[in-house]
Structure 1
Amino acid sequence: MAGEPLTDDVLSAILMRPLRPTRVVLAEYDPQWPVRFAARAADLRRILGDRARLIEHIGSTSVPGLAAKPIVDIVVGIDDPDDEPAYLPDLEAAGYEVGAREPGHRCLRIGEPDEPVNLHCYPPDDVETRRYLAFRDRLRASDADRDLYERTKRELAEREWRDINYYAEAKWPVIREILGRAGWVE
């Protein structure tokens, strides 16, 4: 979620695809999103067994009442995401495709176009994992912060982006503000 400022070169080194200009389309909250998460979580438990130290629904689809891109985001705690032979062949055999590769993190995709899922593999106690959960929990607990975040997303969705990752980066000032109210210290 956080890191060095994005550039086309940084993204090109991480992504397994070329940059894609995009417009963000937000959908109103769908009560099927947690159902989709639960089905994928059950599959992940079957596929990974005890290699999955945690499986959590994150991102906007995990927050009741919040508009979101209709992509379910999941974080899976893998002891060492860089040790791909320990888990990646099983995920790829189940249809997951690596979308991004960076030290200590893999992002995979499945379910396109109808039920897309982003699967983030981090160590279970990684700062990014903890940040995702703290942010989700704050949005679930605070109507004011959830509304602020949704307004920000809607404003940003009015623009065209060189890649979806630039949209994600543009949300960081409000994410930091909300995390601060949640007691998160960088």
Structure 2
Amino acid sequence: MEKYGAGSIVISDYDPNWPALFEQERARITNALSSFALAIEHMGSTAIPGLPSKPIIDLLVGVPSLEEAGKRCIAPIEALGYKYLPEYASWLPGEMFFRKGPPGPWTHHIHLMEPSNPRWEAFLVFRDYLRAHPETAMAYASIKRALAASSNDNIAAYRNGKTIFIEETTAKAHAWRAHATDQAARTGVRRC
């Protein structure tokens, strides 16, 4: 069983300081990686206004080459207080994963990958869909709270329990984005 840090999984009410905490960390990572970081996005539940979450700021960091990132990024990111977890590559292919904070509960995660990785788009479309659909975000909150209560400190059970909801919602989100893109193309409106 993969345990969750220093105790039971806790889902906290939304904290309006989470976006500011993300911005602070984005500035630190930008400074550490300079132009090698192509993009840094706030992802995960703390990026969804109003959504209860484990209080961990998830950062999605895009790099031009994962192979090159293995040589250039580990030391600068670890100098910011993160720990690189190479063993996570077995279930997060094409990604380098870092976490920061005491040995649980953690405060920040970095998911470092090439933006061409299909998970990059999946993370962002899921986030954007939940931002635009608060009723779906609240359904997700209910699932997360129930899983946290039943999983105790088994983070794998918690994570796996969310899989079906995330996959189904991501599929809806891709259709939603495609529809919005089609609508914009038909009306001549450019999306940013």
- Coarse TM-score class (shorter-chain normalised): 0.7 to 0.9
State the alpha-carbon separation in 2 of the partners of residues 155 and 27 from structure 1.
13
TM superposition score normalised by structure 1: 0.82
SS in 2 for 1:35: helix
Residue 36 (structure 1) aligned with residue 26 (structure 2)? no
- Of residues 86, 104, 124, the one that matches 2:94 is 104
Aligned partner of 1:86 in structure 2 is 72
| More helix, by proportion | 2
Structure 1 residues 49-86: Cα deviation after superposition (integer angstroms, max 9, x where no partner): 11111100000000000000000101101222343112
Q: Which has the higher strand share?
A: 1
Query: Offset of 1:114 from its aligned partner?
Result: 8.1
For 1:95, the equivalent position in structure 2 comes to 81
Change in 2 beyond 3 A, CA 1:162/1:69? closer
Q: Which amino acid aligns with 1:138?
A: Y
**Structure 1 letter corresponding to 2:169:** I
Tell me the equivalent position of 2:121: 130
The corresponding residue for 1:118 is 109
1:143 to 118, 134, 148: 134
Larger Rg: 2
Regions of 4+ moved over 4 Å: none
The one-letter code matched in structure 2 to 1:155 is: A
Is the Cα–Cα contact under 8 Å of residues 62 and 115 in structure 2 kept in the other structure?
yes
My pick for the range that moved more, 55-64 or 146-155, is 146-155
The count of corresponding residues between Structure 1 and Structure 2 is 168
User: What amino acid maps onto 1:143 in structure 2?
Assistant: P
5+ residue gaps, structure 2, are 177-192
Report if the CA contact (8 A) 1:82-1:104 is conserved: no
Structure 1: 5+ residue stretches without partners:
1-7, 9-18
Aligned-partner residue type, residue 11 of structure 2: L
| In 2, Cα distance between equivalents of 1:122 and 1:163 | 26
Equivalence for 1:13: none
Cα distance change of structure 1 residues 37 and 144 upon mapping to structure 2, 3 Å threshold: same
Q: Is the 8 A contact 2:38 2:63 kept in 1?
A: yes
TM, length-normalised to structure 2 = 0.79
Does residue 20 (structure 1) correspond to residue 6 (structure 2)? The answer is no
Residues 96 and 153 of structure 1, relative CA distance in 2, 3 Å threshold: same
CA pair 162-25 structure 1, distance change in 2 beyond 3 A:
closer
C-alpha separation in 1, matches of 2:170 and 2:153: 27
TM-align CA RMSD = 2.1
